[in-house]
Amino acid sequence: MARVGVRAFAGALVALVVGLGASPAGASPAPWQTASPLAGVTVLNAGGYAQVSALSCPTTGACVGVGGYSVSKNVTEALVASESGGVWGRALALPGFAALNLGGQLGSALAVACPAAGACVAGGSYADAAGVAHAFVAVEADGVWGSAEEVPGMATLTTNALASALTSVSCSAPGACAAGGIVALSASDLEPWVAVEADGVWGSAEEVPGMAALDVGQQASVFSVSCASGGCAATGQYTDANGATQVFVASEDAGVWAPAIAVPGPSGNVTPGQPLPPSIACPSAGACSLAYDLKDPAGVEQAYVDAESGGVWPAATPVGGVDSAAVGAVVLALSCAAPGQCAAVGAYGDVQKNAQAMVIDEVAGTWGPAIELPASGPLNAGGGAVLQSVDCFGVGACAAGGVYTDATGFAQALIAGESGGVWGGAQELPGSAALNVGGDSDVSAVSCTGAGGCAAGGYFSDAAHRYQVLVDATAPLVAPAAPVVVLRGVGEHSVRLAISARDASAPASEVEYALDGGPWRRGRARSGLLVVTGLRPTTAYQVAVRLVDARGPGPSRTLRIRTR
C-alpha cells in the first residue's frame, strides 16, 4: 500500500506543478466533531503504516471506510470500518483478503461505494505469491462483508499471470454497480477494463470497447466510474499514435458498454510522466461532468473541465482564474449534486512555486474560474496545500478535504465546506493537530449524505512516527425543534404570528405553515413575524408552523385561531 500524504503527495504535486441526492440550496454540513484515531487499528497495524483512503456514506451517521494497514515492513493488508449513529466502530481486516494477498502488497487505489446502509462494494488490488497484482472486489450484504475475491473474468483477460487492478467502483442501487481499472494483456500492452453488477451478480470483466482505435500506444486505464439510474460512465487515459496522453469516456446502458470516445479538446504532449487520473461524476445518465489534467506543449500540467449534455461531450476547456499559467494546476476530485451543478478540487502552483488549494464550481452547466480556497493561505505557511477529496450533497453545498503545510513544516489535515455556492474558510480538522505529533496528517477522503451529514478519513503520524488512521464526522444531524409560536394579531383575512427557534445556535431556518392539515407552504417571516393571508372572515382555522433547515423539517406547533 502506498501512503498518500503531504510528504508523498503534496511534495510530488509541488514538483509536478513546478516541473510542469440534493438538499436545499445553501445547506451546509453541521460542525465537525473532534477527530479521533480509528479504534482497533493499533492491534492490526504492527508495521506502523495505516490509513483510510476511501469513504462512502449512504445515510447520515452510517458510513463505510476502506484503507490499509501494515502487518510488517513488507506486508500490507486491507481494512474496513463502519460508522453507525455518527460513531466509528473498530477497524476490521477485510474478510478473505489475506488469503488472496500471499504476496503481501495491497494496492494504493482502493475504492468503495455504498448505495444503501449495509450494502457496499469495495475493491482494489492484491499481490499473489509471485508478487503479481490482481484486481479484487468484496461485497457487503445486510451489513455482513463477504470474502474478497478476484474480479470475475479477470483471469481470462490476464493470461500468462499478468497484472490487473481495480481503480474505481460506483453503484446506482444495491446490486447495481460498475467497476473499472487496468489490465496487462501483455508485457507491453496495458488496457482498460470494466465490469457490471446486475441483480447482485457481477458479470465478467471485459476490455473497454473501441479502445483499439484510440490506444495506439497500448498504455490505457480506467481511473473513474460513475453510475446513476439509467446507466454508468467511465473515464481514463490512453496513448495515441504520437505518444501523447489523451482522455477517453465510455458509457454503459443495461449492461452494454458503448465504444470509448476521445474527449474533444486540447491534446496532451509527449513529456515523460503521466498526468494525474481524470475524474467523472454522473448525477444522471447522459449528464456527466469531467475533470482532468494534461501537460501542455511546454510540459506544464494544466487542469481541464467538461460537461456532457444530452449524451454529447463538447470540447473541454482549460481551468482559468488562478495564476497557474507558468507553474501548472491539477484537479484531483470531482463531485456533482445535480446535472450541471458540480465542484472540483485540486491545487495550483503560485508565483513562489508553492502548492495552493484550489476549488472550481460548475453552475447550471457552466464551469466558472478556479479560486484559491478562502483562508487557506494563512494556514499554508509551508506552501504545500492540496484538496484531494470532495463530495457535494446539495446544489452549492459541498465538503472537501486535503492537506496543508504549517509554518513548522508539519503536514496538517485540511477541511473546508461550501454553502449557498460560496466556499467558506479553510480550517484544520478539529482535534487532528493534537493527534499529529509526528507532523504528517491529511484528510484523504470525505463523503456526505443528502441531508448534509459528512464523514472524513485519512491518517496522522503519532509520537513514534507510526501512521495511524484518522476519522471524523459532523455532529449528529437532528431536525430543528418545534418553534415557539405566539399569536400577535387577527384580522378578517389574515393572522400575524411571532415565530422563534428554541435553539439559538441552530442553522438558519425557513418557516413553513399548513392550514387545517393541508399542504405545507413556505412563509415569509420578517423579523420573526409570519403573516398568513388569504383567509375567510369569521372562520376557524388550525395553523401548523414548523422550521426547515439543512437538517430537514422539524416537528410543528399548531394554534387554533378564528378570523374576525
- CB-CB contact of 231 with 251 (8 Å): yes
- CB-CB contact of 232 with 225 (8 Å): yes
Residue 55: name the closest of 368, 333, 385, 373 by CA: 333
| pLDDT, tens digit only, all 564 positions of the chain | 444 333 332 333 223 222 222 333 334 466 898 999 999 999 999 999 999 999 999 988 889 999 999 999 899 999 999 988 778 899 999 999 999 999 999 998 899 999 999 999 999 999 999 999 999 999 999 999 999 999 999 988 877 668 999 999 999 999 999 999 999 988 888 999 999 999 999 999 999 999 999 999 888 999 999 999 989 999 999 998 888 888 999 999 999 999 999 998 876 666 655 667 899 999 999 999 999 988 877 778 889 999 998 889 999 988 888 765 557 889 999 999 999 999 999 999 888 889 999 999 999 999 999 999 999 999 999 999 999 999 999 899 999 999 999 999 999 999 999 988 999 999 999 999 999 999 999 999 999 987 678 999 999 999 999 999 999 988 765 667 889 999 999 999 999 999 988 766 555 568 999 999 999 998 877 778 999 999 999 999 999 999 886 556 888 999 999 999
- CB-CB contact of 419 with 429 (8 Å): no
Q: In this structure, which amino acid lies at residue 213?
A: A
Phi, psi of 407 (to 5 degrees): -65, -20
- CB-CB contact of 304 with 317 (8 Å): yes
Q: What integer pLDDT is reported at residue 266 of this predicted model?
A: 74
Write out the three cell numbers for 524.
415569509
Q: How far is CA 72 from the centre of its chain?
A: 30
Q: What integer pLDDT is reported at residue 243 of this predicted model?
A: 84
Whole-angstrom distance, CA of residue 377 vs CA of residue 370: 15
Write out the three cell numbers for 236.
481514463
- Cβ density class 63-81: b for 16+ within 10 Å, e for less: bbbbbbbbbeeebbbbbbb
Write out the three cell numbers for 507.
442553522
Length of the chain: 564
Q: Does an H or E element contain 305, and which?
A: strand 301-307
Q: In this structure, which amino acid lies at residue 558?
A: T
Residue 97: name the closest of 59, 134, 43, 141 by CA: 134
Q: What integer pLDDT is reported at residue 29 of this predicted model?
A: 61
Q: What integer pLDDT is reported at residue 481 of this predicted model?
A: 83
- CB-CB contact of 79 with 41 (8 Å): yes
Residue 446: name the closest of 430, 458, 428 by CA: 458
- CB-CB contact of 512 with 499 (8 Å): no
Q: Does an H or E element contain 41, and which?
A: helix 41-44
Whole-angstrom distance, CA of residue 401 vs CA of residue 329: 17
- How do 341-349 and 411-419 pair as beta strands? unpaired
Write out the three cell numbers for 386.
492540496
Q: What integer pLDDT is reported at residue 187 of this predicted model?
A: 80
3-state DSSP of 245-266: EEEEEEEEECCEECCCEECCCC
Query: pTM of the full predicted structure?
Result: 0.81
Q: In this structure, which amino acid lies at residue 42?
A: T
Whole-angstrom distance, CA of residue 115 vs CA of residue 141: 11
Whole-angstrom distance, CA of residue 48 vs CA of residue 385: 25
Phi, psi of 43 (to 5 degrees): -70, -40
How many CB atoms are closer than 10 A to CB 311? 13
**Domains in the chain, please, with CATH?**
6-20+24-473 (2.130.10.150), 484-562 (2.60.40.10)
Phi, psi of 351 (to 5 degrees): -70, -20
Q: What integer pLDDT is reported at residue 87 of this predicted model?
A: 82
What is the full DSSP assignment across 355-380? EEEEEEEEETTEE---EEPTTHHHH-
